[in-house]
A = this chain, B = another copy of it.
């Protein structure tokens, strides 16, 4: 999976640097949906001199190659997800945790939207919001 990603980058003429490798590794191994700052902090120990701009630059490169997907939730900062298979996200309103879940891809809504609006459709985005199990139990304890 990581090898495949590196190969895909090489094919796009992208050079491999230690920082780039580390950011990519982090995205592949961590199944969280980190912000740019999460990544920056996580790699600070290994790369004390790394700039935040480097994180953003690489995330942009990964996005252009199609390895990574950027998402804006209600929060202030964007979250980045290494693209594996098609899945949707459910997000906890309380703690912000993001969990993947599988559901048949909604191709139909794209064609309907296209017919109704005249748009040329490229993609869609779907997210479910609610409260995760652990936050549910905390809330019931408090009450």
Contact = CB atoms under 8 A, between A and B. Distances in A.
Interface of A: 70, 72-74, 88, 90, 92-93, 99, 101-103, 106, 109-110, 112-114, 116-133, 136
27 contacts: A72-B72, A72-B74, A88-B113, A90-B117, A90-B119, A90-B121, A92-B119, A93-B122, A101-B116, A101-B117, A103-B112, A106-B106, A114-B130, A118-B133, A119-B128, A119-B131, A119-B132, A120-B136, A121-B130, A122-B129, A123-B128, A123-B130, A124-B128, A124-B129, A125-B125, A125-B126, A126-B127
Given A88-B113, A123-B129, 9 more contacts: A90-B121, A92-B119, A99-B119, A101-B116, A118-B132, A125-B125, A125-B127, A126-B126, A126-B127
A118 B129 CA distance: 12
Contacts of A88: 109, 113
Copies in the complex: 2
A131 B114 CA distance: 10
A34 to B, nearest CB: 17
Nearest to A97: B119
B109 A126 contact: yes
